[in-house]
Chains A and B, each alone.
Chain A
């Protein structure tokens, strides 16, 4: 019983009954016992079954489909549709006569812009709000809680609501910006002429509370003494922010960048609710394109190939991200 940790309760002598765990010594020894391992596999088995059936096998199926010619005419054959080699990929990437080629490039560009601006805006806004509510002021607790509200509005409601507010004639946004304050001199048709911006703004609005929460948790864990020492050394607020806060928050920025980019690149609900299943060439994103071509036009081979390319793009992003932030992750671990 030499492995007893000092905090463990004083155990009576082990009953001789349980042969496999004869001495239930706390901590490591027990957890790495054979019965512990068996239990562990039993505990993860249900989750593994679901992940294999709904994530792993269908993903493999998706890659397979990307090499098949599955469209309206071959749909009845399902997975047995004829092979198509690399034709789907060639058409998407290199066939400039194919409308899918330009559609894909346009959607890729829109998705890149949407993702960069949405993630940048969400993190900057979330950090700004976190800094504001991290101060001492009256009503701080209530303000922090209320700031979370946009995060809890479902995405499809966000889409409906902002599409309504962005209406050109009677929408509240133009009424405020044009009629009320005169900031704009003419009424923009947001959903037609500025459609990408019109889906970015609600996305940032809904994303900021979560970023605020994460940054706030980070800010509260920063050592106060550092700031006091820096203030004594004559560092102003901006310098303290630039040389203390930002470097210490880097791991949090890193993790939010990673998942924020993935989440935004796969955004579907907000554009589709606000702009319909065909958002037009200015705001068509990868997911709206893939879903429309697959389910409205039955171009499943195209959809699968475009999805595979999107997955590859995200793998590249993860690799880039890992190189850029490896040091921060090691520091945080």
Chain B
């Protein structure tokens, strides 16, 4: 029996089954590299060199060794400190500015909104060079130490990820009914008090999603940390590059380091996925 001799209904059913099968094939292809990362981290160095895996006998040895080869613990802690602090400060700034954009009308609102977007047009290298020179100048001429310090990286990342965070928070505030804060204000709250005590708690999932998104982006940043640090404030991406430079053959450890670097952001993303997805799509869908 050929396709053509089927009734239209059965033909559509078959086509549907084919598309579903195709969907699962695509999913397998999308996940295969991640599966390979995990599988490889559980093998010995020898297996990886041959390319012949012993999947039935996984070993966690690489996960122990990777902390000793390079000082991965230090990079990890630096990443945690810098990303948490900058995401927290960026989210705080964004909560205030996002609220102003969502609810208050003021002269310059449009200009402010536009310049927030415009910051995304400038290539990092444009302000990286002056920042680098400025940090060096401050180090040589003033007691302000920003080059290769946690504070310096936190300031830079806060400014970087604040613009996107502002758009996220603006959207989340727009989703909250105005009546909530109006009721609070009728009850004697100032508008700022209403923002802190009524609006922000109601926007909590949005605040969390914004924080996670800023954290994800800071966790991923390599360009600025390469130029603005040399030892004390280096983060995981630098650690991975040092790893590749000095232990190029230690692939099992490198894959283990990859898994360890991915787990925190993966967990954070999927824990807040419902809201994060809203923030990510809202900008594009609503314009």
Chain B residues with CB under 8 Å of A256's CB are 284
Chain A residues with CB under 8 Å of B129's CB are 61-62, 65, 294, 300, 303-304, 307
Q: A170 at the A/B interface (Cβ < 8 Å)?
A: yes
A269–B282 Cα distance when bound, in Å, is: 27
Chain A residues with CB under 8 Å of B270's CB are 145, 152
Chain B residues with CB under 8 Å of A252's CB are 284-285
Q: A94 at the A/B interface (Cβ < 8 Å)?
A: no
Contact A170 B48 (CB under 8 A): yes
Which B127-165 residues have C-beta < 8 A from chain A? 127-134, 136-137, 155-156, 158-160, 162-163
Chain B residues with CB under 8 Å of A246's CB are none
Which residue on chain A has the smallest CB distance to residue B182? A26
Chain A residues with CB under 8 Å of B261's CB are 154, 156-157
Q: B4 at the A/B interface (Cβ < 8 Å)?
A: no
Q: A205 at the A/B interface (Cβ < 8 Å)?
A: yes
Q: Quick one: which of B30, B96, B121, B125 contacts A43, CB cutoff 8 A?
A: B96
**Contact flags B1-45 to A (C-beta < 8 A → 1, else 0):** 000000000000000100110111011001101101100100000
**Smallest CB separation, B153 vs chain A (Å):** 12
**Smallest CB separation, B201 vs chain A (Å):** 17
A266–B179 Cα distance when bound, in Å, is: 43
Which residue on chain A has the smallest CB distance to residue B160? A54
Contact B100 A55 (CB under 8 A): no
Interface size on B, as a range, is: 35 or more
Contact B287 A329 (CB under 8 A): yes
Q: A138 at the A/B interface (Cβ < 8 Å)?
A: yes
Contact B265 A164 (CB under 8 A): no
Contact A135 B27 (CB under 8 A): no
Chain B residues with CB under 8 Å of A265's CB are 123
A272–B34 Cα distance when bound, in Å, is: 20
Contact A55 B287 (CB under 8 A): no
Chain A residues with CB under 8 Å of B237's CB are 154, 156, 269, 273
Chain A residues with CB under 8 Å of B23's CB are 132-133, 135, 137, 143
Contact B27 A40 (CB under 8 A): no
Contact A273 B27 (CB under 8 A): no
Contact A315 B121 (CB under 8 A): yes
Contact A40 B182 (CB under 8 A): no
A–B pairs, 29, beta carbons within 8 Å: A26-B179, A31-B105, A39-B192, A40-B100, A40-B104, A47-B93, A47-B97, A54-B159, A59-B126, A61-B127, A61-B129, A65-B130, A137-B20, A143-B24, A145-B273, A149-B266, A157-B261, A169-B51, A170-B49, A205-B30, A208-B30, A213-B277, A214-B280, A251-B287, A265-B123, A272-B241, A287-B223, A291-B128, A291-B226
B contact set with A: CB distance below 8 Å: 16, 19-20, 22-24, 26-27, 30-31, 33-34, 36-37, 40, 48-51, 92-94, 96-97, 99-101, 103-107, 109, 112, 115-116, 119-134, 136-137, 155-156, 158-160, 162-163, 166, 178-179, 182-183, 185-186, 188, 191-192, 216, 219-220, 222-223, 226-227, 236-237, 240-241, 244, 251, 254-255, 257-258, 261-262, 265-266, 269-270, 273, 277, 280-281, 283-285, 287
